[in-house]
Structure 1
Amino acid sequence: MALTGLVLDVVTKVVAVGQLEPGRPVPLLGGLLTLLLIRNPGAAFSTGEGITPVFALAACAVLVFVVARLVPKLGHPAWSVALGLLSAGVAGNLVDRFARQPGPLRGHVVDFLQLPHWPIFNVADMCITAAAVLIMVLAVVKNVGIGGERYPRGATPAQSAATAPSAGRAVVDDGPRREVEDA
């Protein structure tokens, strides 16, 4: 999922840069979608334009956290999709931060999709948004943890963890008695 989203983002940006002229909108679908090429030095809604390196470093930290801390805990296919989408989106915009002008850690993100009354965005932004929605549905609506565990309605993961066996230990049932061994 992450690789597919990243490739789709990079390819669409290459096509947009090669085919669109900055400042010249191309209306599609009766104006429902407009292609308009811009270079965004900031974050969402062009906020923080003066701190582009901070966004690049934050994106690096997010990717490291997802890969090192969350991916090893995956135990549910929908969480795999959510983290794949998140990784694709973060990595897609990070590629721009490193590879585009004015230079590494300061590169401007290519945005080119616009809906009526909405800021211009790209495929990476769509991946991040879809990931956020899916994470909220899984964690809040469905009460499914990243490992696939289901929490009782109204209980938080922290409350449920307090009643679960200790992390790193497995319960072994080898007959009438139960022992706890280190996993």
Structure 2
Amino acid sequence: MTSASPSGNPVPLLRHRYLPWILAVAATVVVLDQLTKWWAESTLNDGRTISVVGEFLQFGLVYNPGAAFGIGGQFTWILTAIAAVAVVALCVFATRVLNPLWALGVGALLGGALSHLGDRVFRTPGFARGHVVDFIDYNGYFVGNVADVALVGGAGLLIVLTLLGVDARPPADTGVPGEDEPPA
């Protein structure tokens, strides 16, 4: 089954089969990340920490102007631009994914990148300079948030799939209906 693209070329209808799933995963990550950041800001704003697993895992509020480990805090606007480019690239790639595991990984990456971009754009101290709310303290080595968990998990999944030779787009001769149909 095919439909015509704006250029008039046939496009398999299955091409966007996983796009709604990718968008659902991304939306779930954004909502969970922003809700937990709201919780952290309203609960931990007095400087206290909550022990989850001794000192190994604690909740404590930190505002991060930089990237991982606070690196590049003086270049927040560059991090904002990088996040915006990542979101656009992931959106384009998402339209090409034809594998459910790749859809999960791309959705997690997209959700994490979108949530961080939202922090950079809308949080204080201002547009394109906003600080990311971090609150999950991993034994003092790293403080992150739900978006970070999604980014690391999504990237890890895509690395494993790549190492296992699982393609985001199966070859046309794999029997995927609609992928090997001749143009109409």
**TM-score normalised by L of structure 1:** 0.78
Secondary structure of the residue aligned to 1:73 is: coil
For the residues of structure 2 that align with 1:101 and 1:135, how far apart are their CA atoms?
33
Structure-2-length-normalised TM-score: 0.78
Q: CA deviation at 1:38?
A: 0.6
Q: C-alpha displacement at 1:116, in angstroms?
A: 1.4
Aligned to 2:16: none
Corresponding residue to 1:63 among 81, 87, 91? 87
Structure 1 range deviating more: 55-64 or 114-123: 114-123
Alignment partner of 1:132: what SS?
A: helix
What is the alpha-carbon distance in structure 2 between the residues aligned to residue 22 and residue 44 of structure 1?
24
Cα drift, residue 78 of structure 1: 0.3
Which consecutive unaligned segments of at least 5 residues does structure 1 have? 151-163, 165-169, 173-180
SS in 2 for 1:31: coil
SS class of match (2:154): helix
Q: CA separation of 1:148/1:23 partners in 2, compared to 1, >3 Å: closer, same or farther?
A: farther
Structure 2 CA distance for partners of 1:148 and 1:26, relative to 1, 3 Å: same
Query: What SS is found at the alignment partner of 2:134?
Result: strand
Q: Taking CA–CA contacts closer than 8 Å with sequence separation of 6 or more, which of the two structures ends up with the larger relative contact order?
A: 2
Which entry has the higher C-alpha Rg, 1 or 2?
1
- Inter-CA distance 84–171: structure 2 relative to 1 (3 Å threshold): closer
Partners of 2:150 and 2:158 in 1: how far apart? Answer: 12
Alignment CA distance shift 1:38-1:22 (3 Å): farther
Query: What's 1:125 paired with?
Result: 148
Secondary structure at the residue paired with 1:6? helix
Give the aligned partner of residue 147 of structure 1: 169
Match of 1:17 among 38, 41, 55: 41
- Asked if structure 2 preserves the Cα contact closer than 8 Å seen for 1:23 and 1:38, the reply is no
Task: Tell me how far apart the structure 1 counterparts of residues 46 and 143 of structure 2 sit (CA, whole Å).
Answer: 12
- Paired residues in the alignment total 155
CA RMSD of aligned residues (A): 2.0
2:138 to 101, 107, 115: 115
Aligned-residue identity in percent: 34
1:91 aligns with 2:110: no
